[in-house]
Amino acid sequence: MIRQEMVEEEICRLFKEAVIKLPEDVKKALKNAYDREDDETALLNLKAILDNIKAAEDMDIPLCQDTGLPIIFVKKGNVEVENQNDDIINGILNGVEKATGEIPLRTNVVDPLTRSNTGNNIGRFIPQIDIELVNTDSLEITVFPKGFGSENNNALKMALPGEGEEGIKDFVLETVLNAGGKPCPPIVVGVGIGGSSDMALKLGKKALLRPVGVNHPEERIAQLEKDILKMVNSTGIGPMGMGGKTTALDVKIEYADTHTAGLPIGVCIQCWAARRATGFLKP
């Protein structure tokens, strides 16, 4: 049986892993970007990023001062939880508060109007928790600390159906150009297509959970990812917006069927610090 305390400890562990150590796929992509770059300023910026990553691991401290908004994706399999979803939710809340004090995480969560800080990264509907029921034998938890230097550059378009793939490409490119150097490139671009307005943005965020360098399993979507990545990197925005070959490390697309009258497009931008960590709990 999975108990609340198990969830709490796993959440704290995962946040520590996520904010201190980047996933290997992200580090490899950044190193590859450095190896193929020939612009002097871009090389300096990429070296600073790689040095930052190493220093965080060596010193066991968060690699960015913005440790993000706590977002958690849960896949609940065929496992017994002591008090069902209550223990999952309470374990997540306690785990985020524990991580905030122990790692520590910067206290980022505030009331949207008064700007009063909660002091523990817990607030109304925050942490943001997404629970999906799946046919597995475990409770899968992925923490996704999302910095707002990149999040502030997200965009949504309720496109007309006739705009099609070219409209999708144009909107993603427009969003990246508007963002420029603000989201700390090299970025990873998550694109959600279809569903409803809110679902499109959620799909874009979920797409970012896929490892850098791994394309969508459907060839038509994978090709669209490759086409958009080429377009984004042709902008020359480059690392930190100061020019270079690599504006984006990857483009990730997820889609859902939608209404016959619409084509929702959600673009979710992730900075070079593409942080995420996943763990599995079993009874």
SS3 for the chain is CECHHHHHHHHHHHHHHHHHCCCHHHHHHHHHHHHHCCCHHHHHHHHHHHHHHHHHHHHCCCCCCCCCECEEEEEECCCCECCCHHHHHHHHHHHHHHHHHHCCCCCCCECCCCCCECCCCCECCECEEEEEECCCCCEEEEECCECHHHHCCCEEEEECHHHHHHHHHHHHHHHHHHHCCCCCCCEEEEEEEEECHHHHHHHHHHHCCCCCCCCCCCHHHHHHHHHHHHHHHCCCCCHHHCCCCCCEEEEEEEEEEECCCCEEEEEEEECCCCCCEEEEECC
What pLDDT, on the 0 to 100 scale, is given for residue 84? 78
pLDDT at 283 over 90: no
pLDDT in tens, 142-177: 999 999 999 999 999 999 999 999 999 999 999 999
Burial class (CB in 10 A: 0-12, 13-18, 19+), 241: middle
pLDDT in tens, 15-74: 999 999 999 999 999 999 999 999 999 999 999 999 999 999 999 999 999 999 999 999
Residue type, 128: Q
pTM: 0.96
* Whole-number percent of the chain with pLDDT over 90: 98
Burial class (CB in 10 A: 0-12, 13-18, 19+), 107: middle
What pLDDT, on the 0 to 100 scale, is given for residue 82? 87
